[in-house]
Amino acid sequence: MFGVVFGYATHHLDNRRLGDIGVVGPLTPGIGWRRLWQMAEAMNTDESPRDKLGRWILVQATRAFVCGSGRIAHFEDQDWQLEQNGYRVRFTDAYCNRYGLWTGDLTVTGMAAEQMAMRPAVYRI
C-alpha cells in the first residue's frame, strides 16, 4: 500500500503468553522506523496523540496479516530483532488483541532481498 515492506511480530510479556505486544518495523533496506510514524501522521488528523497513531499502525499490521495476499510472507520459526531506537506505546486497554506497540528498525533472519524490496505504492508519503 505504501511501497515499504514492514514486518509484524508479537512479543509476550510472560510465559503465559498474555499481554501481547505488537512489534512493527520496516524491512526495506534504507528505510528507518520513523517512516512508519510519518505514514500514521499523514493518514490521521493533525496533532493526533501517539496512542492514536500507534493504534492506526497496529490495525494496519493486523489487517495485512488477517487479509494477507500473495505479498504476505509468514515466518513461523524465524528469529527477529527489533532495535531499541523506536517508539513504545502502551494502550490503556486491549486493541487488536494487543496491549502495546513497539516500533523500531526490524530484521528477520532468512529473508531474501526481493522480499524486502520496495513495492509499487498506492499512497505516497
Q: What is the pLDDT of residues 75-107, one digit of tens each?
A: 666 788 899 899 999 999 888 889 999 999 998
Which band of pLDDT confidence, cut at 50, 70 and 90, is reported for residue 9?
confident
C-alpha cell at 91: 494502550
pLDDT of amino acid 17: 74
Q: What's the rounded Cα separation, in Å, for the pair 70 and 23? A: 22
Q: Does this model's pTM top 0.95?
A: no
Which band of pLDDT confidence, cut at 50, 70 and 90, is reported for residue 48?
confident
Q: What angle do CA 52, 29, 64 make, to 5 degrees?
A: 45
pLDDT at 68 exceeding the cut of 70: no
Beta bridge partners of 82: 106
The CB-side HSE value for 95 (13 A sphere, CA atoms) comes to: 19
- What mean pLDDT value characterizes the chain? 83
> Nearest Cα to 86, choosing from 43, 12, 22?
22
Distances (CA, A) of 45 to 53, 113, 116: 10, 35, 30
What percentage of the chain carries pLDDT values higher than 70? 85
108 burial level (CB within 10 Å; 0-12, 13-18, 19+): middle
Write the Ramachandran bin of 40: left for phi over 0, alpha for psi from -120 to 50, otherwise beta.
alpha
